[in-house]
A and B are shown apart, each in its own frame.
Chain A
C-alpha cells in the first residue's frame, strides 16, 4: 500500500474518462468520470442496458475498460495480474444471481477464499466465516448446501462470503432483483446494517427506499453515461434533467 492511498482525503475509487465497448459497436461506457470517497455509499440506478452493472464490474476487473484510467485504493487497473489480484482482495462483490458454489456447503463457500487467497489456517478461516454468518443472521445454516436455502438466505450467505476477505469496498449488482418480494427485506436489512459500519458501498439497485435510507449519493445512468448525480433527497424530490424525471416517474409512479 502506498502512503498516499491511506490519506483520508484521497478518493478510494477514481474513474478518469473511462470508455468501454462490447464488440465493435456497442459503446457501453462513455467518458465516465467518477470519484468515490472512502466510506461513501453510492446507489446507481438507471434503465436496463444503461451500463450501471458494467460500471461496477470494471472496479474489480470482471470487465476490462479500453480507454481511460481506473484507480482503486491507489492501484491502477491494468493488465498486470498482480495488481488485479491485489484489488480483488479489497473489493467484495454480491451478484444478482447469488453465484454461490452449489457443490460446497455454506461454510466452505465462506472459507474458500480466506484459506486459498488469504492463506489463513482452516480453523481461523472457519471462525471468521461463522462470525460473518452471525452478522447476516444465518449461522445455523452453516452446514447446509446453498440450494437447500431460500433465495433471501442465499443472498445473505453471498454477502457474508464477500465480507470474509474483510474488503474495503463492497459492490452490489442488483442484489434483490432475483428475490421473491417477501425476501427482499431481509437482504436489505443486512445491507443497511453494513452501510452503517462505514464500509465503502456501490450498489446497483432500484430499491429507492434503500437509496433514501442509506445512500450518500445517487447516480443516474443512461446510455453509458452518468446523467445526474446528487444526494438522494435532492435527486428524488428535485431531479435536474428531464431524463431522470421521466425515469423516476416510471419507477415511483405506482
Chain B
C-alpha cells in the first residue's frame, strides 16, 4: 500500500430554492397536462355560471324580514327571517320557552368543559372531577332536580321528553363518546385476549352490533327493551337511547383500536414482559399509547360520525338539532317553504363542530408524533 492521503469532504450546502410565483404555480397545479387544463376550464366555467347565482341567493337578494309575505315576492333570494323567527325552537326544541335560559347555561357549561378538556395544560385529575361536577350541574339545570328527588333548587321540573335541539345533540354525543371510547378499548383488548371466553364475548358483541343498523338499535332501546322489563320498572327513554348509541359506537371504534393494536410489533410486548411489567401495566404504559396514537384519524372519524348520528334519535321521538328543525317548520304553514334556509343554518352549526373536531385531531396527531421527529 502506498502513501495515505487525507480525503477532503465537500461542505454541506442548503437545498436549491424552488421558484415560487403565480405563473409557475398555475402551470404546475392547474395546467400541468391537457387533462389538468381541461378539468381546470370545466370547473372554472361551472363556478362562473353557478357561483354568482348562489352568492346572489345567499347574500345579495336575501332578506332578513320576519314577514313571510315579503319573502314570497318575486326576485327575493334566501329568506333568513325564518331563522330569526324560529331560532329558539330550532336550538332548544320543545323545552319550555320561559325556562330556556337553563339549557343555554347548561350547554355553555358543557361546551366550555369540552374546550378546556382539549387544552393540554388542563389535563390532570382535577379535570375528571370538574367533569363530574359539570355533568351534575348540567342535569340539575336541564331536569330541575338531581335523581328526581332533590327539589331544593327551586327549578320547575322538565322531563327528558321535552329536552331537544342543540343541548340534546351535544349532551348525547359528549356522553356517548365519553362512554364508548373506553369501552371500545376494553373490547379491542378483549378480542386479542388469550382467554377464549373473553375473546368470544367481545367478538360476538362487535359482530352482532355491526350487523344491525343504528336505527334498529335505537328502536330496540326505545320500544322493545321496556317489554322485557318487570312491571313498574321504567328506565328513561333518553338513558336507553344513550346506552344504545354508546354500544353501537363502541363496536365500530373497537375495530379501529384493534387495528392500532395489530400494527404494533410483538417486540414491544415482549420487551415490556421481559422488564417484569404486568399485563395491565404493559397495556397502559406501552401498548395503548402507541396503538391509539396510530389510529387518531380513525378514532376522530368515529367521534364525528357519532356526533352526526345522534340526529337519528328523531325516529324515537327525541328531537335533537335536526329533529327540532322539522318540529319548528312543519307545524307552521307560513314558514314551511323555507326549509332550505333552516337546513343551511343547522348545516353551519354541524360544520363548525365537525371542523373543530377534525382540526383538533390534526393537532393531536402532531403531538403524539413528536417522538418520531428527528
Contact = CB atoms under 8 A, between A and B. Distances in A.
Given A62-B270, A147-B371, A103 B289 contact: yes
B273 interface: yes
A148 B276 contact: no
A68 interface: no
Contacts of A117: 275-277, 281
A113 B27 CA distance: 57
Interface of B: 265, 267-268, 270-278, 281, 285-286, 289-290, 293, 368, 370-372, 374
A216 to B, nearest CB: 24
B290 A103 contact: yes
Contact of A85 (B267, B268, B271, B278): B278
A112 B293 CA distance: 19
11 contacts: A85-B278, A88-B274, A88-B276, A89-B276, A91-B274, A99-B271, A101-B290, A103-B290, A113-B276, A116-B281, A145-B371
Majority SS at the chain B contact face: helix
A34 B272 CA distance: 27
Given A85-B276, A85-B278, A99 B372 contact: no
In the A-B complex, the 7 residue pairs with the closest CB atoms: A99-B271, A113-B275, A99-B267, A93-B274, A88-B276, A145-B371, A117-B276
Contacts of B290: 101-103
Nearest to B293: A103
A99 B268 contact: yes
Contacts of B278: 85
B136 to A, nearest CB: 34
A147 to B, nearest CB: 6
Contacts of A112: 275, 277, 285
B274 A60 contact: yes
Contacts of A62: 270, 273-274
Contacts of A97: 265, 267
Interface string A156-170: 000001100100000
A232 interface: no
B356 to A, nearest CB: 26
A92 B271 contact: no
A210 interface: no
Contacts of B374: 147-148
A100 interface: yes
Interface residues of A, number: 28
A39 to B, nearest CB: 21
A147 B274 CA distance: 21
A236 interface: no
Contacts of A89: 276
A95 interface: yes
Interface string A78-122: 000000010011011101010111111100000011001100000
Contacts of B276: 85, 88-89, 113, 117, 165
Given A99-B267, A99-B268, A116 B372 contact: no
B248 to A, nearest CB: 31
A103 B371 contact: yes
B275 A95 contact: no
B95 to A, nearest CB: 45
A113 B286 CA distance: 11
B277 A116 contact: yes
Which of A62, A89, A103, A165 has the most chain B CB within a 10 Å cutoff? A103
Nearest to A118: B276
A85 B276 CA distance: 6
A95 B372 contact: no
A116 to B, nearest CB: 5
Contact of A99 (B270, B368, B371): B270
A74 to B, nearest CB: 17
A101 B273 CA distance: 12
Nearest to A116: B281
A145 B374 CA distance: 9
A145 B290 CA distance: 14
Contacts of B289: 103
Nearest to B289: A103
B286 A92 contact: no
A89 B273 CA distance: 10
A102 B275 contact: no
A89 B275 CA distance: 7
Contacts of A104: 371
Contact of B372 (A60, A102, A162): A102
Which of B265, B274, B368, B370 has the most chain A CB within a 10 Å cutoff? B274
A95 B277 contact: no
Nearest to B270: A62
B372 A145 contact: yes
A101 B281 contact: no
A91 to B, nearest CB: 7
Contacts of B268: 99, 101
Given A145-B372, A148-B374, A161 B275 contact: yes
